[in-house]
Amino acid sequence: MKQIVIKVLGFFIGFFITLFLINYINITNKKIENFTVETPTKEHYSNSRIEGNDNEVNNDYALIPYQANKFMCINTFFDTKKISNAEGRWYECDLPLDEYNDRNNNNYFTYTKNINLKPNTINKNGSYGADINTIQLNGPKSFYFANNVNTNELNEFSMIMTLKILNIEAKNNILFELTGNTETIDASVQQYTYSIININIITNENGNYDFIIIIGNTEYKGNINNIDKDLIKNNDFIVFGFIYTKSEITFLINKQTYKYTTVNNFQITLSSTPVIINKYGSINMELYNFIYYKTIIPIEEYLNCFKHNYHYLSGLHTIIENNRADGGDTSLIRDKLIDFEEKLGNYFKLITDTKLDKSDDITATANMIQIQPFNISSINTNKNTSSSFFSFLF
């Protein structure tokens, strides 16, 4: 009996020392990172595509929208060498080559299967898509994405994802997830509740899709229901936008907007588990672009994402680069830009006129479902205390 007590006591001492060391390392790592967010200026977002003399072309569609406020981005637009199958890493789009190292572990997503690049269906000369069917992307630790990196508090953020969905078959499909720390809701009885942020695409009985959003311990559901499967899957690309504030949640599918009033049960703090894209690899998809902002993106900048996407998927960037390399004049580029504007206008009309369901810009209080808390004291009072405790941990 005495040996069992010593072993149990030793386990707890080792367990808490390990937790302390992990927390200390996490805090130290965060302190050495640079989280400065530059305030955007008018010059960042000039609407003029061609400025200066005839030999100078400034194409703003090539820029990441709201670039100064971007925290992290991975894409296939700028440099597909950022996807390193040899290392199993997909690096941040602006990370210099000489900074590809383990110290910058908040600058890449990891994966365990090779990512193949596939031509997009707009133009075979345009940017390729990253096939992540059956592949889960594991990003930096969630707390790096917090607004306050000292307390890990999450107050607002925006996420934009451009992808092509080929198929969704599973019942639950987590497109994006940030994990939060478990919250104490009643210390007197050691009662806790989970905290998480995710987007779940659910296949319903009609074969169409319902979108459920979890923020903290509240499920937001009912507004984004029965979205036609053909409108989600049969596209050259689709854009999902997710904007969170303490007062409102906005979810966008292309240009269609859905809103919920935020339910604030507690201050959300993010944990040390990784950010996830395509959890368990359940969505058969090709990813083009993922951008995360630690702030609210203005709607005009969100709309610029379509121009940004189309700039690369249409192959316009290649035409411009090749023309410059050949020393050609800008008249060819101007003609291509005019043609691009016309096609882009037609595409905008298509996504504006296409209704995903009968609703448009819905605002509602959540169809609220609280995630049930768990009670530590009830677990510890089980007759088989040790096995219950271990099952809780693992």
Model confidence at 57: pLDDT above 90 = no
Residue-wise pLDDT tens digits, 210-232: 999 999 989 999 999 999 999 89
Q: pLDDT at position 301, please?
A: 94
Q: What tokens does 308 get?
A: 């940004």
Q: CA-CA distance, 138 to 179, in Å (whole number)?
A: 12
As for how many domains the chain has, the answer is: 1
pLDDT above 60 for 56: no
pLDDT at 30 over 50: no
The answer to whether residue 74 is domain-embedded is yes
pLDDT at 106 over 50: yes
Query: What's the confidence (pLDDT) of residue 372?
Result: 60
Does position 33 have pLDDT exceeding 90, yes or no?
no
Q: Is the model's pLDDT at 343 over the cut of 50?
A: yes
Please report whether residue 193 resides in a domain.
yes
Q: Is residue 387 part of a domain?
A: no
Q: What is the mean pLDDT of residues 238-248?
A: 96
Q: Label residue 182 by pLDDT band (50, 70, 90).
A: confident
Q: Residue 390: what pLDDT?
A: 30
Q: What percent of the chain has pLDDT over 90?
A: 52
Residue 354: pLDDT band (50, 70, 90) is: low
The Cα 389–Cα 382 span in angstroms is 9
User: Are 268 and 215 within 8 A, CB to CB?
Assistant: yes
pLDDT of res. 34: 34
CB atoms within 10 A of CB 123: 16
Please state the rounded mean pLDDT for residues 371-376.
Answer: 58
- Summarised one tens digit per residue, pLDDT across range 131-166 is 999 999 999 999 999 999 899 999 999 999 999 999
Binned at pLDDT 50, 70 and 90, residue 51 comes out as very low
pLDDT the model gives residue 100: 76
Which range among 11-20, 165-174, 368-377 has the greatest average pLDDT?
165-174
User: Is residue 5 assigned to a domain?
Assistant: no
Mean pLDDT over residues 361-387, rounded? 52
Specify whether the CB–CB gap between 364 and 222 falls below 8 A. Answer: yes
> Is residue 218 within 8 Å of 265, Cβ to Cβ?
yes
User: Across 23-37, 101-115, 234-248, 337-351, which has the greatest mean pLDDT?
Assistant: 234-248
CATH number for 351: 2.60.120.200
Q: What is the extent of the structural domain holding 359? A: 33-370
Q: What is the pLDDT of residue 360?
A: 46
Own/partner contacts of 205-214, CB < 8 Å, gap of 24 or more, are: 209/168, 211/251, 211/253, 211/258, 213/242, 213/249, 213/251, 213/260, 214/371
pLDDT for 68 beyond 90: yes
